[in-house]
Amino acid sequence: MSQHEAALEAQALDLERVVCRLTELAGQGARAFTIGAGDWPLRGFVVRTGDAVRGYVNRCPHAGHPLNLLPERFLTADGVLILCSSHGALFEKGNGYCVAGPCAGRSLTPIALEVRDGFVLVADSVDVNALAQAAAS
């Protein structure tokens, strides 16, 4: 690869925004990620739903806890819904809507994603700092 090609590739993929490879979410995969530095990085997670991937802030609308206890443990045993491990709220994977539990009718905060060259990225349009601060308040 020439220097010019390498520069173009680096420009195309903002490495700080890369969450994981799409293949790492094969099947019913989900995984946590953190972007940003300082006291309030953006803590989110991504989840595969069919051919699509969705991203959400890792903060339950019930009591503000992270949804998971383990880095990749976000789903019910059958993989159909997102499960908050604190008090059992259940969310749809495709839109983050809470269908049962103490915050029924509320929703997870979405994070726009892009899939580029086989990588899942937080979209360029996402203001990571603003979203992290909103999630912390």
Question: Smallest distance from the beta carbon of 105 to ligand FES, in angstroms?
Answer: 13
- Please report whether residue 83 would count as binding ligand FES according to CB under 6 A: no
Q: Give ∠ CA 70-81-58 in degrees, rounded to 5.
A: 45
* 41-80 residues near ligand FES, rule: CB under 6 A: 60, 62-63, 65
Q: In this structure, which amino acid lies at residue 14?
A: D
User: For residue 9, with 0-12 CB atoms within 10 Å meaning exposed, 13-18 middle and 19 or more buried, which class applies?
Assistant: exposed
Measured between alpha carbons, how far is 32 from 92 in angstroms, rounded to an integer?
A: 17
Candidate residues 19, 25, 42, 84; the one interacting with ligand FES per rule CB under 6 A: 84
Q: Which one, 101 or 121, has the nearer CB to ligand FES?
A: 101
Question: Smallest distance from the beta carbon of 135 to ligand FES, in angstroms?
Answer: 14
Q: Which one, 29 or 101, has the nearer CB to ligand FES?
A: 101
DSSP 108: P
